[in-house]
Amino acid sequence: MEVRTIRSLRPNVTREEAIQTFTASGPASLFWKLRSGPLQRIADAYIPFRIYRVRFPMSGAQRTHLFALDAVDGSLDLFEFAAPPGDAETVSVFTRNNPASTLSEARSEELLRDKVLRVIFQQGFFKLRRIKLETEQLPGEIHLPYWLGFYGTPEDLRCRVLDAVRRRIEGAKVSALFEQWLAIQSVQKVEKLPDGVELTAGKAKVRVTVFREGLFRVRVAPAGTFPKDSSWAVIEAPEPGAIKIDDAKDEVRVTSGTTVARIKKSPLLIDFLRDVGDVLVADDSDLPMAWENGRVRVWKKMPADEGYYGLGDKAGPMNRRDRSFTMWNTDAFGWRESTDPLYKTIPFFIGLRKGLAYGIFFDNTWRSSFDFGKEGHDFYSFGAEGGEINYYFFGGPTPGKIVQDFSALVGRTKLPPLWTLGFQQSRYSYEPEERVYEVAKTLRDKKIPADAIYLDIDYQDGNAPFTVDRKKFPTFEKMISDLRAQGFHTVLITDLHIKKNPDHGYAPYDTGVKDDVFLKRADGTTYVGPVWPGDSVFGDFTLSRAREWWGGLYKNFVDMGVAGFWNDMNEPAIFLTSTKTMPPDVRHRLDDGTTLPHLAIHNVFGMENVRATSEGLLKLRPNERPFVLTRAAYAGTQRYAATWTGDNVAVWNHLGMSTPMLLSMGISGYGMVGDDIGGFAGTPTADLLTRWIEAGAFNPIYRDHTAKGTGDQEPWVHGAKHEAIRRHFIEERYRLLPYIYTSVEEMTRTGIPLMRPLLLEYPQSPEFFNDDSEFMFGHDLFVSPVTTELQDMKVIQLPPGAWYDYWTGEKSSDQELKKLKPALDEVPVYVRAGAIVPRQPLVQNTGETPNGPLGLRVYPGPDCKGSLYQDDGHTLAYEKGEFLRVSYSCQVGADAIRIVSTIEKDSYKPWWSAAEITVFGIGKAPKSVRVGDATIHEWRFDSAQHAVVFTLPEAKNSWTAELIL
């Protein structure tokens, strides 16, 4: 029999129905009976709680699994004993709401139950007065296919087990809780606005307006009054352009460009369509928009073939379908696939079917949630615990256009300093001073290129931000300038918590008190919370003057020549409290004199913190590009800071998870992103660190970082063989910098990230939509990092078109299936036929002038082109037009290949004047090589690489070269 998932939020189910469905649900003698809290008002809720022994046929191992019904979203969740009960074992919990790390050990089933209960209830979803737990060991033994025991990430495992269980449980019919949602009613009145329509439905008003062509906005005021319009994310002003409104009896249509909003009147339902008729997304007629007690929610139909991509740093597969997520910025040490929420809130996603794409940005900063099919199979939903129904709809039509439009709406990454694209070395913590010098020297002695060294919290005096521990760092200023002289940029951590340290001449505290910029509670007292320095106070970052105060704190470090700053813990993370953050009665002040509760500001607090840092640095060094690294973010934070994915773990699975997470960040507008190379928690094995350094060479931010107490993790730690491989990939990164920097500059103008999921480049090829392990690095490189220690065959399906092997130059045929066993020193990388890739001679850091010609690798193919952007790499002179831009193209004829270089802008003098050109895919030596009108003789044919190589001594002006075949 079928396990019915629940429309728990469906407005029209009665309490009686609910209870009935539940009691009819088969062998439900195991349950938790929940009463009280928000649930008691509605219905008694039962959570079936069942234990199964699962046998894995291949190993013969038995495991005990426990399935529970999650009363929040009505899903089945799996709790797994990793070893048979009785032993000292690990318990893994795969559920939506439980940070798995809180359940790391349990010795018996009793303990497990106890812990599960505690964890679920600690999440604050239920406030229980009484829990009744009845248990019975079910005799059932489920046989699951062998792969469950061996392959697959926990998230995979979870999905598959759930599937298996859904198919096997007899008579189980589950249903859960119903809240009294008030659904929107029928439209009584339609008013035309200059940019759209305002609809009256009962007491509620709904505005459907056009923001930009093909970009709509929906706002709902349940009681009929729209609050003041404001957003932390949106930076564009509306420019609706031409719109068309058709008000018919049953529906109103608002058309902008080729996108139509169709509002059905009874009840009010909003659909978005292409003007040719394709429905992009439609409200579910059983589930109109609704609200309850301050909460708001929107449901949409979920076609069987639609996937959902985006949502920022959510873990697990890029396609969010069949999962649900919470947005509540959280310090999530040692997160895994199932951990949610994580550090960031980017409430934006793309819905994608073959040939049809749209985007939705739910601009609501409260704790919000997105459910893509856990609640029901044919609808999805999003909503928040407070605030407005306020979402933007992007009509696309392509995923690329949606990413462009979304990133324009919330702001794009600013051009970063070039050094931040180099290799960065970090750990928690390099101390004392001698160790920092030693790490820097070793990198240089071993000729491992690097640009940055990070100092984590231990350089500070008692962990108080903006101080220096002079015992460990007696000549701190000299160290910074010595490092600088060796080509290292120093990045200092400066967390947002200010030590509560009155009467000690601690300026950050004293000036903050004097300026009244610290956060207060509802009763007017300053909020004090324990973090690294002990009792701490916090800037009220939603106030301009608090941001200015904070920005000014950087003066001393900036004067010392510190290059960049790292704002950690800004979720905000608070110790010794079960919520891990500030209490809800903290009041955030706004410039207009009003305040907002923490629940409304929590998710943007980190963003306003790094905004203060970035704006402060710009003020202190007006002609330098700031570099700030943040952990927490809301949509749009890329305007102020780069980011990383927080505290990952030094295990293979995390290396695998890094790709879909970084890709998801990229399509969520956040392109300057990396993860802790090698893993933060734990110590990587030699092979793992090597593979991670290989993969990281093709990530936007390339930073090796690890936790306190772990083994050393610098590239040289595992002996000569590993060191050589790692050096090789770091060197390749540096050789590719002209291509990388050009792609990053493109990202600042278009929002298209450096690291791109295949769906962005191939939206007509659904077979690539869910590719979580491969990606495009820039427009032309296809990268397939090795993220497993298994020696299995790696099968790579190349995307449409012909490709060249990046390492050997060998050309593959169209749509070739590659079957490879990459050795430890190999990463499959392919170049699109039709690419021209600029490169440079090796340097040890980006401050070093490359010695030699610009490299141009030409890969003949259709639509053959490339470009190069260069500037001084660190000032804002580029904003005044001081840059070089060159575009390249090639035409492939039957008996000639022509390569053209066109200078588009030459207001910056690059380091090169010569260019070395390598043309791949040439079967035999050409008859001649011509540059302009002249035939040249200095060229060579590389028969192994099927390439012709020649140098243009003067390549700074536009030129044309031709291979006569």
Size of the site for ligand MIG (CB under 6 A): 11
Contact 72, 375 (CB under 8 A): no
Q: State the amino acid at position 936 in one-letter form.
A: I
Strand order in the sheet with 586-589: 520-521, 586-589, 595-597
Coil vs helix vs strand at 122: helix
405: enclosing H helix or E strand: helix 399-410
Closest CA to 913 of 949, 951, 948, 869: 951
Find, among 502, 427, 505, 493, the residue nearest to 463 by Cα: 493
By C-beta, is 639 or 705 nearer to ligand MIG?
705
Return the number of other C-beta atoms located less than 10 Å from residue 149's C-beta: 18
The residue nearest ligand MIG at its CB is 428
Q: Which of residues 341-360 bind ligand MIG (CB under 6 A)?
A: none
How far, in Å, are 72, 381, 702 from residue 420 at the CA level? 42, 38, 8
Structural contact between residues 96 and 374, judged by C-beta atoms closer than 8 angstroms: yes
Q: Is the peptide bond before 572 cis (omega within 30 degrees of 0)?
A: yes
Site for ligand MIG in 662-681 (CB under 6 A): 680
Q: Is residue 615 within the footprint of ligand MIG (CB under 6 A)?
A: no
Tell me how far apart the alpha carbons of residues 287 and 943 are, in angstroms, rounded to a whole number: 66
Interacting positions 635-654 with ligand MIG (CB under 6 A): 646-647
Beta sheet of 251-256, edge-to-edge order: 244-247, 251-256, 259-264, 269-274, 279-282
702's tokens: 């390339």
85: CB partners within 8 A, 6+ apart = 64, 108, 109, 112
> Site for ligand MIG (CB under 6 A): which residue of 169, 493, 553, 868?
493
How far apart, in Å, are the Cα atoms of 156 and each of 65, 78, 239, 307, 549? 15, 12, 44, 17, 48
CB of 388 closer than 8 Å to CB of 205: no
CB of 649 to ligand MIG, least distance (A): 12
Phi then psi for residue 891, to 5 deg, are -120, 130
Closer residue to ligand MIG, CB minimum distance, 705 or 733: 705
Place of tokens 């690890």: 706
Identity of the residue, 271 or 647, whose beta carbon is nearer to ligand MIG in the bound complex: 647
What is the closest distance, in whole angstroms, from the C-beta atom of residue 631 to ligand MIG in the complex? 6
Q: How far is CA 573 from CA 44, 486, 599, 607, 902, in A?
A: 35, 35, 14, 14, 51
Label each residue of 63-114 as H, E or C: EEEEEEEECCCCEEEEEEECCCECECECEEEECCCCCHHHCCCECCHHHHHH
- From the CB of 586, what's the least distance to ligand MIG, in Å? 20
Q: How far is the CB of 521 from ligand MIG (least distance, A)?
A: 24
Question: Closer CB to ligand MIG, residue 157 or residue 632?
Answer: 632
Please give the Cα distance from 629 to 417 (Å, whole number).
13
Instruction: Tell me the backbone φ, ψ of residue 438, rounded to 5 degrees.
Output: -65, -45
CB nearer to ligand MIG: pick between 480 and 493: 493
Counting beta carbons within 10 angstroms of the beta carbon of residue 130, is it exposed (0 to 12), middle (13 to 18) or buried (19 or more)? exposed
**647: annotated active-site residue:** yes
Strand, coil or helix: 600: helix
- Look up residue 744 and give its DSSP letter: H
Pairwise CA distance, residues 773 & 589, whole Å? 44
Q: How far apart (Å, rounded) are the C-alpha atoms in residues 194 and 75?
A: 44
Q: Return the number of the residue (205 or 705) whose C-beta is nearest ligand MIG.
A: 705
Q: Tell me the closest approach of the beta carbon of residue 437 to ligand MIG, in angstroms.
A: 20
Minimum CB distance to ligand MIG smaller for 393 or for 428 = 428
Cβ 449 to ligand MIG shortest distance, Å: 23
Quote the least distance from Cβ 312 to ligand MIG, whole Å: 16
Residue 456 touching ligand MIG (CB under 6 A) = yes
C-alpha torsion 520→524→525→526, nearest 10: 20
* Interface of this chain with ligand MIG, residues 695 to 714, rule: CB under 6 A: 705
Q: Is 571 a catalytic residue?
A: yes
Minimum gap (Å) between residue 82 Cβ and ligand MIG: 26
Residue nearer to ligand MIG on the CB measure, 391 or 476: 476
211 is a site residue for ligand MIG (CB under 6 A):
no
Q: Which of 284, 571, 704, 774 is catalytic?
A: 571
Judged by beta carbon, residue 135 or residue 579, the one nearer ligand MIG is 579
C-beta of 568: minimal distance to ligand MIG in Å? 5
Cα(62)–Cα(806) distance, rounded to whole angstroms?
46
> According to CB under 6 A, which one of 568, 714, 731, 772 is a site residue for ligand MIG?
568
Nearest to ligand MIG of 380, 428 (CB atom): 428
Residue in 179, 331, 647, 714 annotated catalytic: 647
Burial class (CB in 10 A: 0-12, 13-18, 19+), 793: exposed
Among positions 92-131, residues that touch ligand MIG (CB under 6 A) are none
Are the beta carbons of 80 and 63 closer than 8 angstroms? yes
Closest to ligand MIG by CB, 571 or 615: 571
Q: Name which of residues 760 to 789 contact ligand MIG (CB under 6 A).
A: none
Give the pair of three-digit tokens for residue 586.
């903290």
Of 568, 675, 704, 871, the catalytic one is: 568
Q: Which lies closer to ligand MIG via its Cβ, residue 226 or residue 333?
A: 333
The answer to whether 269 touches 283, Cβ cutoff 8 Å, is yes
Residue 588 C-beta: closest distance to ligand MIG, Å: 23
Residue 414 carries which DSSP code?
Answer: P
| All residues at 6 or more sequence positions from 100 whose CB lies less than 8 Å from its CB, including other chains | 92, 93, 94, 336, 338, 339
CB of 470 to ligand MIG, least distance (A): 20
Q: Does 457 bind ligand MIG (CB under 6 A)?
A: yes
Q: Decide whether 335 or 769 has the Cβ nearer to ligand MIG.
A: 335
Minimum CB–partner distance for residue 674 and ligand MIG (Å): 12
CB of 426 to ligand MIG, least distance (A): 8
> Dihedral sign, CA of 646, 782, 651, 437?
negative
For ligand MIG, the binding residue among 22, 372, 379, 428 (CB under 6 A) is 428
Determine if 233 is a binding residue for ligand MIG (CB under 6 A): no
User: Interface residues with ligand MIG (CB under 6 A)?
Assistant: 428, 456-457, 493, 568-569, 631, 646-647, 680, 705
Q: Which residues are catalytic?
A: 568, 571, 647
